[in-house]
Structure 1
Amino acid sequence: MFNRRSFVQTLGGGALALPLLESTSMATAANAKDTPSRLLVVGNPYGAHPEHFFPVQFGKDFRLPKTIRSLEWLRDRISILSHTDHNMKSGHGREISFLSGVLPDMSAAFAEKNMSIDQIVARRVGANTRYASLHACLGRSIRMSWNANGVDIKPFTDVQRMYDHLFQNLTEKERQTARQLLHQNSSVLDAVREQFAGVRKRASRSDQVRLDLYANSLRDMEKNLVNREKWVDRDKPSLDLSEYFQGSEITIENDYNAVFDMVAYAFQTDLTRVAVIGYSPELNYTDVDGVNRGYHGCTHNGKNEETVAELVAIESFQVEQMARCLKKLDDTPEPNADGSMLDHTVVMFGSGMGYGGTHSNKNLPILVAGGGLEHCGHVDTRDSSGNNMPLCNLFLALLQHFGLEYEQFNQSTAAFDFKTGKA
C-alpha cells in the first residue's frame, strides 16, 4: 500500500504534500538559446510613494523622480508602468500575490495556481545551472516566490549562509555524505513512483485530476536529484566578500551590497539564471542618511513632510542597491555573445502593494530594465475605458520573452507590448 505519510517524512516535510488543487499544465517551451537569458526580481513590501516613483511625463522624454533617480544612466533601457495592478481590494496580505496575481485561497481557478513567474522561468532556464533559482530577503520574508504546490520559497535571511551556499565547497567527507543521501533519496523516489503508479490506475477521474500536480512534483524532485548529483563533485566559483565587513560596523548597505554582488557573480559564473531579492518589512534603515524611523512607521506618515522624506530615502536606497548591481552587469560583457550581461538579464522592480500609506493595492510601482527589450519609457497602461491593466499582462509578455509558449497567464487579458506600452 502507498504510504504517503512515511514518504513525506522521509523527504523532510511537506514539499510533496498531496495537492487538493486541480492539475497544472505547462506550456511547451521553445528550444533553449545558446546565450543564457536571466531574470532578476527585486521587491519591497510597501510599494512606493507615488509622487516620487512615477514620472510626471509619459513617453521616453521624462524626468526621473527622486526614488528612481539612481537609474538615470539607464533611462533608455527602462520601462515604467503606471496604472497596473492585480485588481485586488486594498489592505495587507495581498502583496503575496505580487508575482502571480493570484492569492493562495483563489488559486484553484487558474492553470498555474499561484506559482510565481520566477519559478516558471526557473523551470525553463535553470536545467543546466547549479541552482535553478536563488532567493534572499534579509529579514522576515515578504513571500514573493511560490512553487507549483502553492508553498512559498524560503529565502536566505543571512549573508553568511547565502555565501556558504553559493561559494563554499564541501569537504570530501561532506561530499561523501551528500552522495549517500542522494542515493537514498533516489531509492525512496523509485519506490514511491512505483507505488504511485498503482494508486493512479485505481483513481477516479476526479482523483486523476487532483493527482496531476503531485505527479509533477515527483518529476520535479527527480530532476532536482539528478541535477544535485551532477554538481556534488564540482567545485564552486570563489568570491571574496571580506571588503564589505572590514574595519567598521556592519550596515544594511554592506549587507545588501554583498547580496547583490553575490547575485551578479552567480549570474556571471552561471550558478543560476533566476534570482529574487526582497526587502523585509522588518528591516532597520536607520543606517541610511536621513532615516530615523522604522520602515512601516514611515509609510503611515499622514503626509508629514519630514516622515515622507524618510520614506522616500528608504525607497531610494532600495532602488540604488539594485542600480548598483545593474551597473555591474552592464559593465560585464556577455560571454560568447554581443552586448553586456544586463542586455541578457530582465530586471523587474516592484511590489504587490501600491502605497503603504493607504494600504492601497492599486497602481503598483513597476519598473522593468535590461533584457534586450525594446523599452518604452514611462507609459500609462490603462485601456480606452480607463481601466488599469492587469499586471499579469506584463508577466505574460515576460514569459513569452523567455521562450514559454503561453497565450494566457492567470488574470492576463493580452500580452503587454513593450513597443507600444499597451496590451
Structure 2
Amino acid sequence: MNANRRHVLKGLGGVLSLPLLEASVSNVDAATTTSQTPTRLLVVGNPLGAHPEHFFPTDFGKNFTISPTLKPLEWAKDRMTIVSHTDHGMNNGHGREISFLSGVLPANAAAYPEKNMSVDQVMARHTSGKVRYSSINAALERGIRMNWTANGTELEPFTDPQRLFDHLFLNLSAKEKKVRRELIERNGSILDAVSGQFARLQQRASQSDKQRLEQYANSLRELENSFADRSAWIDRDKPKFDISEHFQQYEVTVENRYNAIFDMIAYAFQTDMTRVATVGFPNELKYTDVEGVTRGYHACTHNGQDEAIISELVAIESFQIAQLSRCMKKLDSIPEPNANGSMLDHTIVLFGSGMGYGGTHSNRNLPIMVAGGGFKHLGHVDARNNAGANMPLCNLYVTLLQRFGIERDKFNTSTGSFDLPFAV
C-alpha cells in the first residue's frame, strides 16, 4: 500500500482516518435494548464566553448568591453546579474556542486516540442503534464549531428550525425510503472492502501501531453495526409534533426561533428519538430584537469596559441563559414514567464555552454550569487544586461520561475526574 496516498470512502457523511502511526502508514478513510429511563445530554454553548463579573457568583458553596447572568436559573439553584477555574490550558486568542467539548484543537488531534472528538459525540456513539438519531445539533447560524467526530470532522448544525422540523418529524416518501435503503446497502458493501484493507494493514504494523489501530477498528465495527440499525428505522413512522405556534401566531424573532429548536429537542428526548443534543449561540447571530441590545454580539465583547456596552453584552448572555432555563423548565415538567423525578433529573445539562471572556480573548476560567442529570449538585465550586492551578475541563467530561453509562477514566486532556457525586 502506498504510504503517501489518501484513500477516501464517499457516501458515509464523514471520513474515518487512521491515527498517526510509527510506520507512517497511509490513511484509510471511511466514512440494543433501550433502557427504561435513559440518561440524556443537552449542551448549550457559545464561542465568546461570558462577562466573568456577571456570570460567576461572588461566593462558593451550595448557598451561593445567584449571579446577574444566571438569574433566570434561580429556580433551579439547588439543581446546578457552577464550576470556576477550569479550562483547557490553552493560550489566549480566538480559534481555541472550538475545543470546548473536546479539549483538543484539530491541529493537535493526531496525538490523541480519538483525535479531537467532542464529548457529545462519544455519548452519541454510545447510543447508536438505540435511537433514531444519535445526536441533534442546532444553531441559528453556522460557526459555533462545537461538535467533532472521531474522524476529526466538524458536524455542522441545523440552522433553520423548519429544516430541523422536517428532519425530525416528516416521514419519508416511498421513493425516498427506497433511495435511503440503497444508499445504506451500498455504503455497507464498500465498508466490507475497507475492513479487509484495514485487517491487512494490522498484520504488518508494529505492536504500538496495532494498539492504535485496534482503537480505530472499534470505530469500524460500530459503523458496520450501525448500517443495520439505520435500515431498521426507515419504515418506522416518526412521532407527530406541532411547531406552528412558533411561526404563525407570533413574530419570527430570535427568541421564538430558539424556542422552536428547544421545544423540538425536548420532544425528541421525550419520544426517545435521540439522547444527545447540542444548541449553539454563534457570534454572528443578531440579537437586536432582545430588549436593550443595539450592537452585534462580538462587538459587545470588545466593550472597552464601557458600562453601557457591557450591559448589552450581559443582556445577550442573560438571553442565552433564559432560553436554557425555559427548556429546563419544560424538561422538568415531563415526568419519567418508570423512574422517580422528571426528565430534567435524567438529563445532563451543560452550559459553557471554549472561551473564558471574549473581551480579552481569554481562554482561561471558562464559564461552565452543569444542571440536572441525577447529580448531587454542589452549587458554586472552585476547581483549582492545592497549588492554585485550574482544573482541566476534560476532568468534568470524564464524570459526565461515567454518568451517561460509559466506563471511562480518561478523556483527551483529563488528569482525573471531577468530584460531582451521583444521586442515590
Normalised by the size of structure 1, how large is the TM-score? 0.91
Q: Aligned runs of 1:325-340 on 2, under 5 Å?
A: 325-340=327-342
Cα displacement string for residues 276-323 of structure 1 (whole angstroms, at most 9, x for unaligned residues) = 111111100001000000000000001111100000000000011111
2:388 partner amino acid: G
1:401 aligned residue: 403
2:20 aligned residue: 20
Q: For structure 1, which segment, 326-335 or 125-134, has the greater mean C-alpha deviation from structure 2 after superposition?
A: 125-134
CA separation in 2, counterparts of 1:190 and 1:334?
41
1:39 partner amino acid: L
Q: Aligned runs of 1:24-173 on 2, under 5 Å?
A: 33-173=35-175
Q: For structure 1, which segment, 380-389 or 411-420, has the greater mean C-alpha deviation from structure 2 after superposition?
A: 411-420
CA separation in 1, counterparts of 2:112 and 2:194?
28
Cα displacement string for residues 126-157 of structure 1 (whole angstroms, at most 9, x for unaligned residues) = 43001111111211232111111111111111
Q: For structure 1, which segment, 281-290 or 376-385, has the greater mean C-alpha deviation from structure 2 after superposition?
A: 376-385
The equivalent position to 1:302 in structure 2, one of 291, 301, 304, is: 304
Q: Aligned runs of 1:273-352 on 2, under 5 Å?
A: 273-352=275-354
1:11 aligned residue: 11
Q: Quick check: 1:126–1:273 contact (8 Å CA) kept in 2?
A: no
The alpha-carbon distance between structure 1 residues 215 and 44, as it changes in their structure 2 partners (threshold 3 A), is: same
- CA drift of 1:205 comes to 5.1
2:29 aligned residue: none
Q: Secondary structure at the match of 1:118?
A: helix
Cα displacement string for residues 3-50 of structure 1 (whole angstroms, at most 9, x for unaligned residues) = x99973542675234543689xxxxxxx98542011111000100011
CA separation in 1, counterparts of 2:181 and 2:251?
40
1:35 partner amino acid: T
Q: Identical aligned pairs, as a percentage?
A: 61
The alpha-carbon distance between structure 1 residues 408 and 192, as it changes in their structure 2 partners (threshold 3 A), is: closer
1:27 aligned residue: none
Matched, 1:225 2:266: no
Cα displacement string for residues 97-116 of structure 1 (whole angstroms, at most 9, x for unaligned residues) = 11111112222333433211
Q: Quick check: 1:126–1:133 contact (8 Å CA) kept in 2?
A: no
Cα displacement string for residues 363-403 of structure 1 (whole angstroms, at most 9, x for unaligned residues) = 10000000110000011111122111111111111112122
Cα displacement string for residues 144-171 of structure 1 (whole angstroms, at most 9, x for unaligned residues) = 1111111111111111111111101001
1:414 aligned residue: 416
Q: Quick check: 1:19–1:213 contact (8 Å CA) kept in 2?
A: no
CA separation in 2, counterparts of 1:16 and 1:351?
27
The alpha-carbon distance between structure 1 residues 417 and 195, as it changes in their structure 2 partners (threshold 3 A), is: closer
Q: Quick check: 1:35–1:336 contact (8 Å CA) kept in 2?
A: yes
Q: Quick check: 2:113–2:215 contact (8 Å CA) kept in 1?
A: no
Q: For structure 1, which segment, 193-202 or 147-156, has the greater mean C-alpha deviation from structure 2 after superposition?
A: 193-202
The alpha-carbon distance between structure 1 residues 306 and 376, as it changes in their structure 2 partners (threshold 3 A), is: same
CA separation in 2, counterparts of 1:361 and 1:283?
21
- CA drift of 1:220 comes to 3.2
1:392 aligned residue: 394
Q: Secondary structure at the match of 2:320?
A: helix
Cα displacement string for residues 43-96 of structure 1 (whole angstroms, at most 9, x for unaligned residues) = 001000111111112111122122111111101100011111111111001011
1:269 aligned residue: 271
Q: Quick check: 2:132–2:274 contact (8 Å CA) kept in 1?
A: yes
CA separation in 1, counterparts of 2:336 and 2:391?
34
- CA drift of 1:239 comes to 0.6
Q: For structure 1, which segment, 330-339 or 232-241, has the greater mean C-alpha deviation from structure 2 after superposition?
A: 330-339
CA separation in 2, counterparts of 1:128 and 1:12?
19
CA separation in 2, counterparts of 1:144 and 1:315?
18
Q: For structure 1, which segment, 135-144 or 370-379, has the greater mean C-alpha deviation from structure 2 after superposition?
A: 135-144
Unpaired runs of at least 5, structure 1: 24-30
- CA drift of 1:248 comes to 4.6
CA separation in 2, counterparts of 1:355 and 1:97?
15
Q: For structure 1, which segment, 74-83 or 63-72, has the greater mean C-alpha deviation from structure 2 after superposition?
A: 63-72
Q: Secondary structure at the match of 2:131?
A: coil
- CA drift of 1:193 comes to 2.5
- CA drift of 1:335 comes to 2.6
Q: For structure 1, which segment, 84-93 or 204-213, has the greater mean C-alpha deviation from structure 2 after superposition?
A: 204-213
2:200 aligned residue: 198
- CA drift of 1:223 comes to 2.5
The equivalent position to 2:365 in structure 1, one of 341, 363, 367, is: 363
Q: Quick check: 2:286–2:297 contact (8 Å CA) kept in 1?
A: yes
Q: Quick check: 2:20–2:111 contact (8 Å CA) kept in 1?
A: no
Q: For structure 1, which segment, 199-208 or 363-372, has the greater mean C-alpha deviation from structure 2 after superposition?
A: 199-208
Q: Secondary structure at the match of 1:67?
A: coil
CA separation in 1, counterparts of 2:142 and 2:6?
31
Q: Quick check: 1:55–1:378 contact (8 Å CA) kept in 2?
A: yes
CA separation in 2, counterparts of 1:200 and 1:210?
10
Normalised by the size of structure 2, how large is the TM-score? 0.91
2:300 partner amino acid: C
Q: Secondary structure at the match of 2:278?
A: strand
The equivalent position to 1:243 in structure 2, one of 239, 242, 245, is: 245
CA separation in 2, counterparts of 1:397 and 1:206?
28
The alpha-carbon distance between structure 1 residues 270 and 14, as it changes in their structure 2 partners (threshold 3 A), is: closer
CA separation in 2, counterparts of 1:284 and 1:243?
22
